[in-house]
Structure 1
């Protein structure tokens, strides 16, 4: 090969490699955080309100259910049943809780599950006509208040999510769907969590019963529970 062309190829390859390294850092300021709380509004509800949006087979939702459960028990009584995430997911059979209700004189908590265990239908296993994102947004629009809906829509379907390379969080997963999010609002503002607070694989070896009894002795769950508690206090 001609030395001149060889040098051109080397330079071109070097530029491509450099671009692949630099671009993620260059776009990071334009991406929204994943896996940590961030403030989305200085306004909120007159009373502390917690909204969990997930789906029955979500391993992120399963992992997030434990710190949320322990945080909520400080304020009231939580109704739930034990569950495991989609066995075909990248984090299969993650132990978790599906929340069915919450009674408290101190705060409100609402739980919405948009899809079934395998993303093949809604939470009641009825076929979804159209794509999962549109269905999820339609369900949320009829289930939550306008400000909550607009926040979830913006940060799951419009804004780029960290590490997604120019994609929203809903578009960065396959099949595209509204992913697990947690919204905490109150008199002093609103905070949003897109995704989980730790990897589902960190609790994959535990049983539901063990986690119910000993979950707060596990570092990941304890740390995540503290983060949720901090956000509750921040909006009070």
Structure 2
């Protein structure tokens, strides 16, 4: 049963109202897993993708260590249906992220990648980068300098400007800025320093919509490899094979 709710209160961060679309149809839980590796959350049974398609929306930032880790599973899965190597650039995450500094990852230089999956279903990956390598500026023009006060609002405005579909925008906003991360008394976007829209992946298809909020795998074990080594054999990375299976399971369950 899908429960339709009307959001009356407008979430505010540092007294700045966040951009919003009309609410999507789902019940907001009290909390959801955040970077709880190997887990996902079922949002609702609604399909926000075109007919006979599963859409994957990868919202992250250039220097995110969790985004770097997640990039390998998405690449490994899609590449299994035909080479997409020309659509990626090998890369390292923000070197100032402490224990998670300089994680080898991939940047998708094609914002839209489409492959034909099992039973002829179209699988589409749309990637949205919100901030630059060290989260000092927004990713796209016009460039906005990031501060501790504006990182969330700048990112949400950028998602609107980049035409992220309204239902997906609402899911990203609600599940990163409104719903608490499990084990914390605040939403996942408010856990960072500065507070910012964290990496989140939205999967949607004929049988519903699921999300992975935060990291799909622990990215730290990837530090033992170079980006080029992983690009030649992504499954070398601890967790990448399991993460690829997770992506496959989610896509298959929604097809």
Relative to the length of structure 1, the TM-score reads: 0.83
2-structure distance, mates of 1:32, 1:87: 29
Q: Gaps spanning 5+ residues in structure 1: where?
A: 1-28
Task: Give the structure with the higher percent helix.
Answer: 1
Match status 1:40 vs 2:43: yes
Q: Determine which of 94, 101, 109 is the counterpart of 1:100.
A: 109
Q: Is the 8 A contact 2:103 2:223 kept in 1?
A: yes
Deviations 1:143-187 (A, max 9, x none): 211110110010000000123x21111101110110101111101
Deviation (angstroms), 1:76? 4.4
The more displaced of 101-110 and 171-180 is: 101-110
1-structure distance, mates of 2:144, 2:165: 26
Q: Determine which of 158, 179, 188 is the counterpart of 1:159.
A: 179
Q: Is the 8 A contact 1:77 1:104 kept in 2?
A: no
Deviations 1:76-98 (A, max 9, x none): 44301111011001311000000
Q: After TM superposition, which residue ranges in structure 1, 4 or more long, deviate above 4 angstroms?
A: none
Match status 1:117 vs 2:133: yes
Q: Determine which of 62, 66, 72 is the counterpart of 1:66.
A: 72
2-structure distance, mates of 1:199, 1:133: 24
1-structure distance, mates of 2:138, 2:82: 29
Q: Is the 8 A contact 1:75 1:107 kept in 2?
A: no
Deviations 1:108-147 (A, max 9, x none): 1100100001111012582337601001111112321111
Q: How many residues align?
A: 207
Larger radius of gyration: 1
Relative to the length of structure 2, the TM-score reads: 0.77
1:148 alignment partner in structure 2: 168
Q: Is the 8 A contact 1:128 1:135 kept in 2?
A: no
Deviation (angstroms), 1:38? 1.0
The DSSP-based 3-state class of the residue aligned with 2:188 is coil
